[in-house]
Amino acid sequence: MSALLTVDRVVKRFGGVAAVDGVSFTLDAGSVLGLIGPNGSGKTTLLGVLAGTHEPTSGTVTLDGKVASGKGAHRAVHAGIARTFQTTRLFGSWTLREGLRLAHGERRGRQAWSDDRLADLLGLDGLLDQPCASLTSAAQRLAMIALALATGPRVLLLDEPAVGMDTAEAAALADAVRRAADELDVAVVVVDHNMQFLMPLADTVLVMAAGAVLAEGTPEQIRADEAVIASYLGEA
Ligand SMILES: Nc1ncnc2c1ncn2[C@@H]1O[C@H](COP(=O)(O)OP(=O)(O)OP(=O)(O)O)[C@@H](O)[C@H]1O
């Protein structure tokens, strides 16, 4: 069986800086990839290439064998790649249900998960009709994921979803992401500096340093990798 997502030798330069410098990996449906590395190592830029916001300087991202990179963010969503951002960008006085209705409009015939199913999956039961602005910041982060999932993605990209969360909130988030991967068969890429959150959640971890892949393996392999400990985990 071929991989759902294939990232092939992706380079992204900003002027003289190679923010992403020849990254390759594959991702299967239903699996969770943790993307880690020091500040400035290129994680957010790589996520931007996957999400279509950055056109790669060279290399390709293919989804189900079709090139998905370099076509803009909107077409990436239509192709089945959805992302959340580091900041919570919700719809102010809108309720989550109203936001979900809008997001469902981007599905282009893909899988529809009902509002109740998404709320249940993310632990947001009872909050569908509350204004998003009135939700706790942890619930707003989960609501962002619900909105991304309402577009019916095959691949979900999460940029530092656990920022600002306490241990219990981060554990609930990890459960929700795991359920989304398992029950909806979505492939997930998660960038986060919180190792307590990310390591138990990830099936595979990819470590970036200076735009390139420093190491890739299971969380156990990565924890034991001396180069990773020296460049990153020793401080994390
Ligand atoms: N739009 C841009 N223009 C110029 N340089 C950029 C741009 N975006 C990122 N860079 C540079 O690319 C490199 C990688 O940045 P990036 O934000 O992808 O790293 P990161 O691993 O996500 O860092 P952090 O963990 O701090 O979020 C850095 O040197 C950064 O200054």
pLDDT at 76: 86
Q: Tokens 């409009």 correspond to what residue?
A: 105
Residue 41 Cα: closest atom of ligand 1: 21
Top pLDDT among 71 and 30 is at 30
The pLDDT of 12-40, averaged and rounded, is: 96
Q: Where does the pLDDT of residue 89 fall: very low under 50, low under 70, confident under 90, or very high at 90 and above?
A: low
Supply φ then ψ for residue 25, to 5 degrees.
-165, 165
The answer to whether residue 236 scores a pLDDT higher than 80 is: no
Asked whether the whole model's pTM tops 0.90, one would answer yes
Specify the DSSP element, H or E, that contains 132: none
CA dihedral 102, 107, 109, 112 (to 10 degrees): -80
Closest residue by Cα to atom 25, ligand 1, is: 39
Specify the DSSP element, H or E, that contains 169: helix 167-184
Specify the DSSP element, H or E, that contains 27: strand 17-27
Looking only at the bridges linking them, the beta strands covering 155-159 and 187-191 are parallel
Query: Do the beta carbons of residue 228 and residue 222 sit within 8 Å?
Result: yes
CB of 231 within 6 A of ligand 1: the answer is no
Ligand 1: centre distance to CA 110 (Å): 33
Q: Which residue among 13, 20, 45 is best mutated to probe the pocket of ligand 1, counting the most ligand atoms within 8 A of its Cβ? A: 45
Ligand 1: centre distance to CA 19 (Å): 6
Q: Map out the domains of the chain as residue ranges.
A: 5-233
Query: Do the beta carbons of residue 37 and residue 209 sit within 8 Å?
Result: yes
Weakest-pLDDT range from 80-89, 128-137, 184-193: 80-89
Structure tokens at 100: 């979900």
Question: Is the domain defined by 5-233 classed in CATH 3.40.30.10?
Answer: no
Q: Where does the pLDDT of residue 99 fall: very low under 50, low under 70, confident under 90, or very high at 90 and above?
A: confident
pLDDT at 90: 62
Closest residue by Cα to atom 30, ligand 1, is: 40
ipTM beyond cut 0.90: yes
Which residue type sits at 208?
Answer: M
The answer to whether residue 114 scores a pLDDT higher than 90 is: no
Helix axes 137-150, 167-184, angle to 10 degrees: 10
Residue 14 Cα: closest atom of ligand 1: 4
Ligand 1: centre distance to CA 210 (Å): 10
Three-state secondary-structure class, residue 72: coil
